[in-house]
Structure 1
Amino acid sequence: MTSAVVVGSGPNGLAAALTLAAEGVSVRVVEAADTLGGGTRSSELTLPGLLHDECSGFHPLLLGSAFAERFDLTGAGLTYRWADAEFAHPLDGGRGATLWRSVEETAAALGRDGTAWRRVFGPLTERFDAIGEEFLQPMLHVPRHPVSLARFGARAAMPVSALGRAWRTPQARALFGGAAAHALRPFGGVLSSAIGVALTTAAHAYGWPVAEGGSAAIRDAVLARAAEHGVTFETGREVTTIDELGPVDLVMLDTSPRAALRIAGRRMPRHVRAAYRRFRHGPGAFKVDFAVAEGVPWTHEQSRHAGTVHLGGGFEEMAATERQVNAGRMPERPFVLVGQQYLADEARSANGVHPLYTYAHVPAGYTGDATEAIVRQIERFAPGFRDRVQDTHVRSATGMAVHNPNYVGGDILTGANDPAQLVFRPRAGLDPYATGAPGVYLCSAATPPGAGAHGMCGYNAARSALRALR
């Protein structure tokens, strides 16, 4: 029987393990941490009874993905929940904008910018099943839906600063800018709109759901399927070299390229080693989880109903902030993402106190404390928030890297989203998962399609390995 070892048990490592095991491969997963799941762990970080997601909190690209469909994760216990609104963007003075699942409802609320919003996102939403199938693969492939992909690509290729000119009102521009800021890239770069367009369209097509019971429920659903196929697990063991794994046919590395070099670099061709050394990481995230009595008192009323709230001020302010962070400077008012998962999944709260998930964009490897900057940004749009905080849990950018070694310098995206790496991550080649070492594959979020709990990096890498075996 063919044997495989998966190093790392994040959503991609688990997806790779399950995909291989379902094809008859004997699979063992080795994890350095004491718990499985990587970016899909959840725990009581603040007060007892309050459930917080430790990294990934919203899952628009898991729903409908080839991996989730192939293994029927909902049949294995995964349940999706949605807040009333997908995301909101408050502005000063109680103004703001909200993205609803419906393109029409969102456009109607945007007033004179509604027609432009409908023109950009209406056709993409109608074709999102086909578009998602295309961009959840490596960039270099023969498309099955070339027209839909070209329509998406025409928007995605634009700088955020250029596509943002499609709208004139501060509300519409901020609504798109907040989604685009997820890329952690300057707004003026080519292809900087790609992630914003994908996430906004996904919000209209699928919403931004949470997993009932926390993101760990995704891990648990995959583990349930893995158990059906005999996958075994070992936790608390760090792999430092491939030789430790013994004789095995396949090795799947759910690691950063830097860690892959440490583990198997001496077996890789020189050009692959060089490419992995050149792999670039992006800015970091500074995460603070709050226990908040009665929720956040947003002055923008609709933000009280949105699963995600983006705090960054207007479009130009966000553009300046992302420029600073990418230049290695900590802004006074950082971009802050706020997750209100409890609006969709009420069981995460207890006794009128709610778990609030936040992180700020900070420079790579930032060693300072951004807690107060996050609180000030929330207070800016929700006066009185500070008085409702009952407890906090802080994980700095450097702490992120300790918690999950794939997050180098606090980079929760596992790689900078600059144009070259959006197209050729982690290196240029027809098979981005192959390391050049026989039987060794990289399957982390450093490979296409990138960050998220969708598992598609591991699924694609495993399929690549299976094709090579055949």
Structure 2
Amino acid sequence: MSREPVIREPGPAGSGRGGIDAVVVGSGPNGLAGALVLAAAGLEVRVYEAADTIGGGTRTEQLTLPGFWHDVCSAVHPMALASPFFRAFDLSRHSVRLLQPEIPYAHPLDGGRAGLAWRDLDRTAQGLGVDGPAWRSLLGPLVERWRPLVDTAMSDFRSLPRHPGTALRMALRVLEQGSALWGARFRGDVAPALLTGVGAHAIAPPRAMAPAGVGLVLAALAHAVGWPVPQGGSHTITRAMAAELTRLGGRIITGERVDTLAQLPPARAVLLDVAPAGLLRIAGDLLPGLYRRQLRAFRPGGAACKVDFALAGPVPWAAADCARAGTLHLVGSRDEALAAERVVAAGRHARRPYVLAVQPGVVDAGRAPVGRHVLWTYAHVPNGSPRDVSEQVIAQVERFAPGFRDLILAKHVVTAAQAQRHNPNYVGGDISGGATTLWQLMMRPAPRWDPYRTPLPGVYLCSSSTPPGQAVHGMSGVHAAGRALRHRFGVHTDPLDLVASAVSGHGANAA
């Protein structure tokens, strides 16, 4: 390994002759968002991707049978409408259609019942009976102020909140739902299960601060902007980003794995869309000892075993309205969800695991041949698990949709242990970029004032292992690129203004 980083000293932006201005390693949403910010500032940018196709966690492939299109990881995208980056980028300008299920998510219960989160907050509350007013009072203020809520949730967690009133409302609700008070406002069993199913997206026991925060933001967005499904698959999002990057002069090189900084061409800034383990692998002994120890102490989170199904027909849900939902949380009651997640957090497999299911055919019939359907699922399992839990997944679906098993034409399984071979950022099958604890969410990847800037001059981390963390939002890349522009090129323009101006055709060149 080279003992010197391949970083050029700062100079006037755009003058990187003999090298290039900036290199990005990884073409996931965060890497591409960072590359777009840099290119929008007039810099020469090159992206390196180890896989043969771009996208990271936003790929779409025919995993089971010809004509059945499955999202490899992410499938539903509220942040494609809500994230500050995507609001600036505006996917609709790039011919990406985000299709809205009538019911963003549902939570089936035994006995043919289900909690239904409609786009309309009042309709949802009406369906929750005695707990309707409690649901409205919990989420209504967040729905009304969804933009400042998202801006706060998508921040770098190092600045004072720009919207302190919204931040306080959110904090009080997180304290309630992340503690023993989490059931105080509810009297029935449907509303608590409906909310807990969303919080469990964090792959952590939901009665804790960080998962509660994740759940409240996602639940509010279901009513504010919906949980859309991209027509044609999640890969349309990163394809649109890559096309815009190319238009701005950037280059993307696929099929080239970066193992050391010495492999990269001379550049004045390097953004790494990699997990802390990837940074250790790439930078190695160039990093100071304390920082290496901090990265090694970074904890991966719970993991997912992904199971995709090709089906002969739609899933026969016992609760009929579930057929109108894009996303379903299959675990049963709030107590069952909490117990299942605690078992996984303890390193064991739940007998009845939490299963997240997406049926894109509700709004996108083109995902499968006429009359056929695809079902996207994953089950929560311990990190590093080699176990194929597809039978447990089928049993959970069958529990709420009798006859499901008879519809299966083919299935495709990726265990947690196999997921890391597909995407090195999924350490042990952790698709969240690290354990979702309050400390690690705020202080990822290490307790430093600037979480993106590494001790190596000009080298920045921009993966979901930096704030704001998991989901397809691009903001880790935006924050890292903003630092690089200020530190290395003397550009102080708001990164989101650069993106919005470039996309609108104004061709802003802040450099």
Task: Report the TM range for the smaller structure's normalisation.
Answer: over 0.9
Residues 1:97 and 2:102 are matched in the alignment: no
Secondary structure of the residue aligned to 1:39 is coil
Cα-to-partner distance string for 1:65-110 (whole Å, 9 max, x where unaligned)? 2211222322112111011100000001101110011111100000
* 2:437 aligned residue: 418
The CA distance in 2 between the partners of 1:164 and 1:371, in whole Å, is 32
Does structure 1 retain, via aligned residues, the 8 Å contact 2:25–2:274? Answer: yes
Aligned-partner residue type, residue 83 of structure 1: P
Does structure 2 retain, via aligned residues, the 8 Å contact 1:51–1:349? Answer: yes
Aligned-partner residue type, residue 200 of structure 2: A
Does structure 2 retain, via aligned residues, the 8 Å contact 1:15–1:459? Answer: yes
Residues 1:319 and 2:338 are matched in the alignment: yes
* 1:352 aligned residue: 371
* 2:102 aligned residue: 84
Secondary structure of the residue aligned to 1:40 is coil
The CA distance in 1 between the partners of 2:415 and 2:180, in whole Å, is 30
Match of 1:468 among 465, 487, 499: 487
The CA distance in 2 between the partners of 1:326 and 1:354, in whole Å, is 33
The CA distance in 2 between the partners of 1:234 and 1:283, in whole Å, is 32
Match of 1:33 among 51, 55, 61: 51
The CA distance in 1 between the partners of 2:26 and 2:447, in whole Å, is 24
* Structure number, greater radius of gyration: 2
TM-superposed CA distance for 1:314, in Å, is 0.3
* 1:118 aligned residue: 136
Does structure 2 retain, via aligned residues, the 8 Å contact 1:177–1:315? Answer: yes
* 2:219 aligned residue: 200
Residues 1:375 and 2:397 are matched in the alignment: no
* 2:35 aligned residue: 17
Secondary structure of the residue aligned to 2:379 is strand
TM-superposed CA distance for 1:356, in Å, is 0.6
Does structure 1 retain, via aligned residues, the 8 Å contact 2:61–2:69? Answer: yes
Match of 1:226 among 225, 245, 249: 245
* 1:432 aligned residue: 451
* 1:283 aligned residue: 302
Q: 1:322 to 1:141 in 2, by over 3 A?
A: same
Residues 1:239 and 2:225 are matched in the alignment: no
Match of 2:164 among 137, 146, 169: 146
TM-superposed CA distance for 1:160, in Å, is 5.9
* 2:474 aligned residue: 455
Could you list the structure 1 runs, at least 4 aligned residues long, displaced by more than 6 angstroms after superposition: none
Does structure 2 retain, via aligned residues, the 8 Å contact 1:177–1:196? Answer: yes
Secondary structure of the residue aligned to 2:419 is helix
Residues 1:443 and 2:436 are matched in the alignment: no
Secondary structure of the residue aligned to 1:380 is helix
The CA distance in 2 between the partners of 1:441 and 1:40, in whole Å, is 22
Query: What does 1:28-67 align with in structure 2 at a 5 Å threshold?
Result: 28-67=46-85
Match of 1:261 among 251, 269, 280: 280
Match of 1:409 among 428, 434, 444: 428
TM-superposed CA distance for 1:8, in Å, is 0.9
Cα-to-partner distance string for 1:286-344 (whole Å, 9 max, x where unaligned)? 01100112210010111111000100110001100000000001011000001011112
Q: 1:272 to 1:459 in 2, by over 3 A?
A: same
The CA distance in 2 between the partners of 1:265 and 1:448, in whole Å, is 23
Residues 1:300 and 2:322 are matched in the alignment: no
* Structure 1: unaligned runs, 5 residues or longer: none
TM-superposed CA distance for 1:191, in Å, is 3.4
Secondary structure of the residue aligned to 1:63 is helix
Secondary structure of the residue aligned to 1:457 is helix
Does structure 1 retain, via aligned residues, the 8 Å contact 2:100–2:227? Answer: yes
Aligned-partner residue type, residue 136 of structure 1: M
* Structure 2: unaligned runs, 5 residues or longer: 1-14, 491-511
The CA distance in 2 between the partners of 1:165 and 1:319, in whole Å, is 16
Match of 2:232 among 213, 229, 248: 213
Q: What count of residue pairs does the alignment treat as equivalent? A: 470
Aligned-partner residue type, residue 20 of structure 1: L
The CA distance in 2 between the partners of 1:298 and 1:172, in whole Å, is 19
Secondary structure of the residue aligned to 1:466 is helix
The CA distance in 1 between the partners of 2:74 and 2:254, in whole Å, is 21
The CA distance in 1 between the partners of 2:448 and 2:458, in whole Å, is 17
The CA distance in 2 between the partners of 1:223 and 1:353, in whole Å, is 31
Residues 1:342 and 2:361 are matched in the alignment: yes
Tell which deviates more after alignment, 349-358 or 180-189: 180-189
TM-superposed CA distance for 1:161, in Å, is 5.0
TM-superposed CA distance for 1:157, in Å, is 3.6
Taking only the aligned residue pairs, the percentage that are identical comes to 47
TM-superposed CA distance for 1:264, in Å, is 1.5
Cα-to-partner distance string for 1:252-288 (whole Å, 9 max, x where unaligned)? 1100001101111433333322211111101110011
Tell which deviates more after alignment, 460-469 or 408-417: 460-469
Aligned-partner residue type, residue 383 of structure 2: A
Match of 2:149 among 131, 134, 139: 131
The CA distance in 2 between the partners of 1:45 and 1:152, in whole Å, is 40
Give the superposed CA RMSD.
1.2
Does structure 2 retain, via aligned residues, the 8 Å contact 1:439–1:465? Answer: yes
Secondary structure of the residue aligned to 1:93 is coil
Residues 1:167 and 2:186 are matched in the alignment: yes
Does structure 1 retain, via aligned residues, the 8 Å contact 2:388–2:413? Answer: no
The CA distance in 2 between the partners of 1:465 and 1:75, in whole Å, is 27
Secondary structure of the residue aligned to 2:409 is strand
* 1:363 aligned residue: 382
Does structure 2 retain, via aligned residues, the 8 Å contact 1:441–1:465? Answer: yes
Tell which deviates more after alignment, 277-286 or 266-275: 266-275
The CA distance in 1 between the partners of 2:279 and 2:95, in whole Å, is 33
Aligned-partner residue type, residue 366 of structure 1: S
The CA distance in 2 between the partners of 1:378 and 1:202, in whole Å, is 25
Does structure 2 retain, via aligned residues, the 8 Å contact 1:160–1:192? Answer: no
Does structure 1 retain, via aligned residues, the 8 Å contact 2:307–2:413? Answer: yes
Does structure 1 retain, via aligned residues, the 8 Å contact 2:300–2:430? Answer: yes
The CA distance in 1 between the partners of 2:80 and 2:467, in whole Å, is 14
TM-superposed CA distance for 1:165, in Å, is 3.2
TM-superposed CA distance for 1:143, in Å, is 1.7
Residues 1:330 and 2:349 are matched in the alignment: yes
Does structure 2 retain, via aligned residues, the 8 Å contact 1:336–1:361? Answer: yes
The CA distance in 1 between the partners of 2:180 and 2:309, in whole Å, is 33
* 2:503 aligned residue: none
